[in-house]
Amino acid sequence: MRRARRPPDLHRVGVANAKYNEPMLAAERPYVGRFAPSPTGPLHAGSLVAALASRLDALAHGGRWLLRIEDLDAPREMPGAARAIVETLARLGFRNDAEIVFQSRRHDAYRQAFDRLVAGGHVYPCGCTRREITDSMSSRSRTFAGAEKPYPGTCRHGMPPGRSARSWRVRVGPTPLHWVDRRAGPRVDRLDEQVGDFVLRRADGQWAYQLAVVVDDDAQGVSDIVRGADLLDSTARQLHLRLLLGMPAPRHLHVPVLVGPDGSKLSKQTGAPPIDASRPIDALDAALQALGLGRIGREPLDRWWSLATDRWAQAEAPCSETARSIRDEPRALHEPTDQPKCAAGVPDQADPPPPKEAGSSPPDASAPPRGTENPNSTRPGSSASTKTEPRCARTN
């Protein structure tokens, strides 16, 4: 069994208004990974890519892999979806190493963390509506990159007279937050410029995703977070909360997300079809190819997982080595770093040709020859359960 590597330290992380000067750094601890889907629909190809990456990384490190159902948003939850997700994962050979956690049963834990932040002066009530925030930002001459505009701080020093709290926000400061993604490399985020003070409890009384995921990851002892690159921008917010709550920092790896023909993320909301669990190897191979590791083909399910784990471990090694060197040398966070080609969709060499399978589809003639495709996207290969012909969108 391989010993888990220590997650990278967060060098020079600072938080305005915090009552400490340095973060609580994670000591070396056993590897614990997780997959945390929302039950807004059945498992689809995009979710399977993230699930596969998280479990392969756990297996490659000789660690534990946990399953958590993030069912806090009841209005968006599809009846029976949680059970369907669990059953589909089981039929594909996923084996969680502890009891499944449901966020809907953990309100007390979120309340305790929230109360600690309130007691520390890090949280304040906000009476702003979304329309008011949008109007406030539109009246400013400054333009912002991306779709999200930072909260202008209207209620930061107190709500206007006659207003009642619609949400509760956590304060952020101007200090840059430095962290390392195992694939994307060093990151520097300025939460005050990117998102501003962000919501921890919503206007409808529901706990925000950012708080719930931090509390649950810490309670479950998660050491490594492997998930889709669409959540890359959430990481700084979660690390900020960890610092305020005195929690150790996990290691992060964000893998490519599948996108449809129109370039939008493949999701339940965009009509992504459910995984066909009656053909587990086909579904798993499509997800493995989306991660840049080729296809394995017709093998017994246990054998498939063993071979896939070996491929992941071999391809992931350069990323872990670079992350470790960055952790050990703080200057690397402020200097250009040679980025390795990592397991998450950027193999060092061309993928080996997939084995010929009985009944398999011929190669996609519309796909460009290897080496001529757009470096920011690639086709993961056809899948019997995917009709939208998704491709993989990369973060670098």
Whether the per-residue pLDDT at 363 is higher than 50: the answer is no
Which two three-digit tokens encode residue 336? 């250009």
Start-to-end C-alpha separation, the chain: 32
pLDDT of residue 391: 45
Q: How confident is the model at residue 229 (pLDDT cuts 50, 70, 90)?
A: very high
Are residues 242 and 249 in contact, defined by beta-carbon separation less than 8 angstroms? Answer: yes
Residue 165 has pLDDT above 70, yes or no: yes
C-beta of residue 236 within 8 angstroms of C-beta of residue 179? yes
**Low-confidence winner among 92-106, 180-194, 314-328, 375-389 (lowest mean pLDDT):** 375-389
Residues 167-194 have pLDDT tens digits of: 999 999 999 999 999 998 999 999 999 9
Q: pTM for this one? A: 0.76
Tokens describing residue 97? 């190493």
Spatial neighbors of 323 by CB under 8 A, at least 6 apart, are 8, 180, 182, 251
pLDDT in the model for residue 138 = 64
Distance (Å, whole) CA 83 – CA 249? 31
Is the C-alpha dihedral spanning 7, 292, 37, 87 positive or negative? Answer: negative
CA distance 337 to 97: 36
pLDDT, the chain, mean = 78
Instruction: Give the model's pLDDT for residue 384.
Output: 32
**Mean pLDDT calculated for residue range 325-352:** 38
- Report residue 188 as tokens: 């520097």
Instruction: Report CA Rg, the chain.
Output: 21
| Cβ atoms 255, 50 nearer than 8 A | yes
Position 310 confidence tier, pLDDT thresholds 50, 70, 90? very high
Whether residue 12 is predicted with pLDDT greater than 90 in this model: the reply is: no
